[in-house]
Amino acid sequence: MKPEAIDTHYFEKFTKDGLGSFESYWYLGGDLREREKQKNLFLDDAIRNPTLDYPYLDDFDFDGKKERLRNLQGEIQAEGNDILIKAYLPKIEVKLNEISMLAAAKFGNDIAFTDFATRVFGHPQKDVHQYIINRLRKQCEEILTSEQPSDVRKVAAQALLEEIGVYGETAVEDYRSHDPNYADKEKDLEIVDCEVIACSFEQALMEFPGGESWRVDVSKNSVILSVSQEDKSIIIPQSRTMSRIKLRSLIAHEVGTHIVRRERGERSPLKLLGIGLDHHIGGEEGIATYNEMQISGAHDYPRLDRHFAAGLCAGFDGEKRDFRETYKLLKNYYLVKGESDVEATNIAWFVCVRTFRGTTCQTPGAYYPKDATAYTPGNIFITKMIRENHAECKRLMVGKYDPRNERHLEILDALGL
């Protein structure tokens, strides 16, 4: 019989009623109709910047959650178990900062929001931003000296060269591109609808212990496919379609990484590994995107646009930017990458909303760093680690931790994992 986890009592307290297991990004969502209204006003130049609504924060119990978390922090400290102290106290501190971050969002305090958000998620990396700038400048210069690209791409390339930083040194290694891993190319390129997507996720969940505790729902109100670790659900938009190879890569990301690490973590000697140690998200998304890209193929690191957007807003080139200023450069970025004007407009809006959610969108340098700090930097580290066949690769799937964090490794070693 498997011995009980050492944190069963505290884990139940930590997760009861979502006390410490809440996902802060969910509370930064808004009313779909109101967000669409703001989008139209913004694109029509009727307003300089949109006003993002945060209705899910109306009933958030800021003070009550803080008090309960601090009480739990005191209990764990008093028990004196070294592993629990190393695992839980930093995690609780992160959740306290998240609560302060959400309070700042509710009351429109952009400076405080960004301060707490960067404590929770960290800052974008200047090396990564420089890597993006170097590759982007090279692509823009090639467009301007070629007869092939359209005038629209050339105008966008010229505009970017006038605004973005110059070439510089970076420690980031060039990505080694690789083709998609087709099982059956003709079938893999077939486009499937939401019902096939949902059925495929359900089948994938049944392939490992704990998968039966998750549910898959098709929703007419959702616009993006989402996975909630808090209530163990996968939401598929009714309008969503995708190729089979995209579906297989997405399942490798969401089920094969996020959900498997969740279930294995909760079955480990430390249940907290199920929802994640503090600041685990970079390692988590690094592994998930690596697994995804082994199927989908890739020519560069993932989500470079998210990191680029945050770097622009944060002022890595010496000029902090608000929503509109970031949007203008992002739209040109997507035009340079070959998107149509309509697609560039929609993607730039979408990424700016993700970058500025939680803020008033008015303050240059105020942003939400989650996307920027998780995907690209995490993938760069994990890709390098796997290329080098690092010993840590053997236990990446035991739960949600970040292999870059020495304290996390000490916890796993002490647990014998």
Specify if 371 maps to a domain: no
d(CA 60, CA 37): 25
Specify if 73 maps to a domain: yes
pLDDT score at 220? 86
Q: Are 214 and 232 in contact (CB under 8 A)?
A: yes
Q: Which long-range contacts (CB under 8 A, 24 or more apart) does 262-266 make?
A: 262/210, 262/229, 262/400, 263/208, 263/209, 263/210, 263/211, 263/213, 264/210, 264/397, 264/398, 264/399, 265/398, 265/399, 265/400, 266/210, 266/399
Specify if 173 maps to a domain: no
Task: Return the axis-axis angle of helices 126-144 and 151-163, rounded to nearest 10°.
Answer: 140
Count of C-beta atoms within a 10 Å radius of residue 344:
21
pLDDT of 128-146, one tens digit each?
999 999 999 999 999 999 8
Res. 150 pLDDT band, cuts 50 70 90: confident
Containing domain of residue 12, as a range? 8-107
How many domains does the chain divide into?
A: 1
Asked if pLDDT for residue 89 goes beyond 60, the answer is yes
- Rounded to a whole number of angstroms, the CA Rg of the chain reads 22
pLDDT score at 13? 96
pTM score, two decimals? 0.94
Instruction: Give 402's DSSP letter.
Output: -
d(CA 363, CA 365): 6
Q: Are 351 and 309 in contact (CB under 8 A)?
A: yes
d(CA 230, CA 18): 7
pLDDT score at 1? 57
- Average pLDDT of the chain to the nearest whole number: 95
Specify if 31 maps to a domain: yes
Specify if 194 maps to a domain: no
- Name the residue among 100, 15, 3, 1 with its Cα closest to residue 273: 15
Specify if 185 maps to a domain: no
CB-based burial label for 169 (10 Å; 0-12, 13-18, 19+): exposed
Q: Which residues share a beta bridge with 191? A: 243
Sheet holding 215-219, edge to edge: 215-219, 233-237, 226-228
Asked if pLDDT for residue 119 goes beyond 80, the answer is yes
Count of C-beta atoms within a 10 Å radius of residue 1:
3
Asked if pLDDT for residue 147 goes beyond 90, the answer is no
> Which runs of consecutive H residues, i.e. helices, occur in 46-106?
62-79, 82-106
Mean pLDDT, residues 2-23 taken together? 92
Mean pLDDT, residues 318-343 taken together? 97
Specify if 82 maps to a domain: yes
CA angle 410-411-415, nearest 5°?
Answer: 115
pLDDT of 190-240, one tens digit each?
999 999 999 999 999 999 999 999 999 999 888 888 888 888 999 999 999
pLDDT of 231-275, one tens digit each?
899 999 999 999 999 999 999 999 999 999 999 999 999 999 999
Mean pLDDT, residues 290-312 taken together? 96
Specify if 102 maps to a domain: yes
